[in-house]
């Protein structure tokens, strides 16, 4: 009896929270609807570029968000290659380096290495050897990098990022980065979130959209 009452109470609190956020977050103001149907399972994609200053500034918020998602939901980072700061080939190589790091359980660390190198050291990459050198000087395992950087799994993951980029660009949703897409339907708008409480409001908005049923 106590257990059923407790579960009912939790459900009621969750419903009240959902209703409150429904009043708080408004389509066209806090998010855009960019597709007719949501994905079958909850998901989040963050489109970004290592060469984007706004993406560099957003990275700490993205990392914190990724650690506070519902069980089974992952923030998937999608590196784009359309910025003019480097060739598409170099941008593709950076995407692969990130995937190598992620697959080794060091995605956040590798991303931070690359972001810092570009935006704090104001340095660039001419080729894959430059990328390899950066990771190795930051103590990333050389054998892991060499084994995986040109592997089929990593090449396929980078190609999938390109597919996502092309699809959402053609559908006029991906117009710049960073872009966060929830359930393949809702594109976040950051400018209306409270800058003094950005972390909390970002989490609330994402939670609301992950659970949203239309």
pLDDT in tens, 188-211: 999 989 999 999 999 999 999 999
Q: Mutual orientation of helices 128-137 and 88-103 as an angle, nearest 10°? A: 30
pLDDT in tens, 80-134: 999 999 999 999 999 999 999 999 999 999 999 999 999 999 999 999 999 999 9
Q: Beta partners for 45?
A: 76, 181
For residue 127, what are the domain limits? Answer: 2-211
How many domains are there within the chain? 1
Q: What mean pLDDT comes out for the span 7-32?
A: 65
CATH assignment at residue 106: 3.40.30.10
pLDDT attached to residue 147: 98
Structure tokens at 64: 């914190």
Whether 162 and 156 have beta carbons less than 8 Å apart is answered as: no
pLDDT in tens, 140-185: 999 999 999 999 999 999 999 999 999 999 999 999 999 999 999 9
pTM listed for this prediction: 0.89
The residue written with tokens 């990275």 in the block is 59
Q: Residue 190 phi/psi, 5° resolution?
A: -85, -25
CA nearest 34: which of 202, 192, 209? 209
pLDDT in tens, 80-91: 999 999 999 999
């Amino acid at each position: 009896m106590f257990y059923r009452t407790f579960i009912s109470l939790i459900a009621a609190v969750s419903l009240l929270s959902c209703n409150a956020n429904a009043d708080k977050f408004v389509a066209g103001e806090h998010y855009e609807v960019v597709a007719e149907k949501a994905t079958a399972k909850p998901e989040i994609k963050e489109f970004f570029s290592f060469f984007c200053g706004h993406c560099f500034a957003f990275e700490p918020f993205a990392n914190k968000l990724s650690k506070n998602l519902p069980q089974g939901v992952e923030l998937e980072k999608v590196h784009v290659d359309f910025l003019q700061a480097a060739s598409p080939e170099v941008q593709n190589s950076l995407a692969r380096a990130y995937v190598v790091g992620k697959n080794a359980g060091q995605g956040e660390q590798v991303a931070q290495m690359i972001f810092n190198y570009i935006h704090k050291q104001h340095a660039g990459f001419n080729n894959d050897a430059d990328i390899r050198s950066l990771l190795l000087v930051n103590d990333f395992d050389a054998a892991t990098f060499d084994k995986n950087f040109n592997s089929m799994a990593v090449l396929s993951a980078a190609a999938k990022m390109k597919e996502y980029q092309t699809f959402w660009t053609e559908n006029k949703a991906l117009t710049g980065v960073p872009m966060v897409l929830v359930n393949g339907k809702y594109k976040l708008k950051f400018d209306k979130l409270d800058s003094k409480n950005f972390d909390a409001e970002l989490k609330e908005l994402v939670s609301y959209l992950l659970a949203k049923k239309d």
